[in-house]
């Protein structure tokens, strides 16, 4: 690990020098790429430099302990040495986590798709409620949410809602939400007070860059239709909604955010590309026995990941056996209570895998 850290520190210094080069500062593309690399390396280098400083202090305390004859000073040196040793252990563990291979999609914005599953009308009502909860969560983190498509349920709610969430490292946290979410509660129409179980599916897809969206025009059929918004109201009076059908796969994407046909078409192609990319990644995961460990936290859309029990105000995440009794807070946007432990768990699993790989 330490030889790798020396290399990282050396490369960090090189990048810093290049950023001062006038030729680089005049090339915005190269400058931005180097600034991002510099920002990614900085936390590792700062932590490593702190570790080296603490190690030097340890050497001084050890030297004092060996030379000093005064018992009171020796006792102080021993206490300081114990504290420094604990700090070194903590810093080394933090550096191991920082050196773990990064998910290349972690920096990306996301496309979120929520669909009502089993449970009829109750599933549609929860699908919209869950989407709103994610909107509240996005607000707490300074992210922006945009609804791309909304299909209303028979008694309200949403049969399907597709949106985009943009901001800092959105995928790194939202990727843990992919999967089947189960809700247990008494529906408003239930006269006997019986608890009803229903499900919704959540798909979190990393949003592709503009330059990545390359789909053969011959493989798609584009139809235009009148936009309609949440509650059935007309968004505008033009046929701006775009329906794109990917002929080879049969995938259909509708975007109707109320802007022009062109902007809806561009966004629909992004959603389509993200879906196709997710299908390909799923195939790769199934072919490789260790793929699920390698792609930590991406989630399987067929897997039940979480249960929301309203009568007991209880949420259980089945992947890590976590249960919390703050359902109202989570539905108000406090998803960090669930996401932070998931991140810690999957980082720990990745660290174990990395350690086994080097042993």
| Full strand arrangement of the beta sheet holding 179-185 | 144-152, 158-166, 110-116, 196-206, 179-185, 304-309, 314-317, 322-324
- Give every residue of the chain whose pLDDT is below 70, as ranges: 189, 191, 210-214, 226-239, 258-259, 284-303, 354-359
pLDDT per position as a tens digit, 188-220: 767 677 889 999 999 998 887 765 556 778 888
Position 350 scores a pLDDT of: 78
Count Cβ atoms below 10 Å from residue 208 Cβ, excluding itself.
Answer: 21
Sheet containing 251-255: which strands, arranged edge to edge?
220-225, 241-246, 251-255
- What pLDDT is recorded for position 242? 85
Q: What's the CATH class of domain 110-348?
A: alpha beta
| Cα Dmax for the chain | 90
pLDDT at 212: 58
The domain ranges of the chain are: 2-98, 110-348
* Dihedrals phi, psi of 334, to nearest 5 degrees: -85, 60
Q: What pLDDT sits at residue 171?
A: 94
**Residue-level pLDDT at 237:** 43
Q: What is the pLDDT of residue 297?
A: 36
Q: Answer whether 229's CB lies under 8 Å from 235's CB.
A: yes
Query: Does residue 116 contact residue 200 with C-beta atoms inside 8 Å?
Result: yes
What whole-number distance in Å separates Cα of residue 24 and Cα of residue 19? 6
DSSP calls for 77-135: HHHHHHHHHHHHHHHHHHHHHHTSPPPTTTTS-EEEEEEE-TTTHHHHHHHHHHHHHHH
């Amino acid at each position: 690990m330490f030889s790798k850290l020396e290399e990282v520190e050396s490369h960090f210094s090189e990048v810093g020098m290049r950023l001062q080069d006038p030729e680089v500062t005049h090339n915005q593309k190269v400058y931005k790429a180097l600034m991002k690399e510099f920002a990614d390396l900085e936390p590792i280098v700062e932590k490593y430099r702190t570790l080296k400083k603490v190690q030097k202090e340890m050497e001084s305390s050890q030297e004092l302990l060996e030379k000093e004859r005064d018992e009171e000073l020796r006792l102080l040196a021993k206490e300081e040495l114990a504290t420094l040793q604990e700090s070194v252990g903590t810093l080394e563990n933090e550096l191991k986590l920082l050196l773990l291979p990064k998910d290349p999609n972690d920096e990306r914005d996301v496309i979120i798709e929520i669909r009502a599953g089993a449970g009829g009308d109750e599933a549609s009502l929860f699908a919209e409620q869950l989407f709103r909860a994610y909107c509240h969560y996005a607000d707490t983190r300074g992210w922006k949410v945009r609804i791309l498509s909304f299909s209303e349920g028979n008694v309200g709610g949403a049969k399907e809602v597709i949106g985009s969430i943009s901001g800092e490292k959105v995928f790194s946290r939202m990727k843990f939400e992919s999967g089947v979410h189960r809700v247990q509660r008494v529906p408003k129409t239930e006269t006997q007070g019986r608890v009803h179980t229903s499900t919704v599916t959540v798909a979190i897809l990393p949003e592709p860059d503009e330059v990545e969206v390359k789909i053969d025009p011959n493989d798609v059929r584009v139809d235009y239709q009148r936009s309609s918004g949440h509650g059935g109201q007309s968004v505008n009076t033009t046929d701006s909604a775009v329906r794109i059908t990917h002929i080879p796969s049969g995938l259909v994407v509708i975007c109707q955010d109320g802007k022009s046909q062109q902007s809806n078409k561009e966004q629909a192609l992004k959603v389509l590309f993200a879906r196709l990319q997710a299908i390909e990644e799923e195939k790769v995961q199934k072919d490789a026995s260790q793929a699920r460990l390698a792609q930590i936290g991406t989630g399987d859309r067929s897997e039940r990941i979480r249960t929301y029990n309203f009568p007991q105000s209880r949420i259980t995440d089945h992947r890590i056996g976590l249960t919390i009794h703050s359902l109202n807070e989570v539905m108000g946007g406090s998803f960090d209570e669930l996401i932070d432990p998931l991140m810690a768990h999957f980082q720990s699993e990745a660290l174990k895998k990395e350690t086994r790989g080097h042993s």
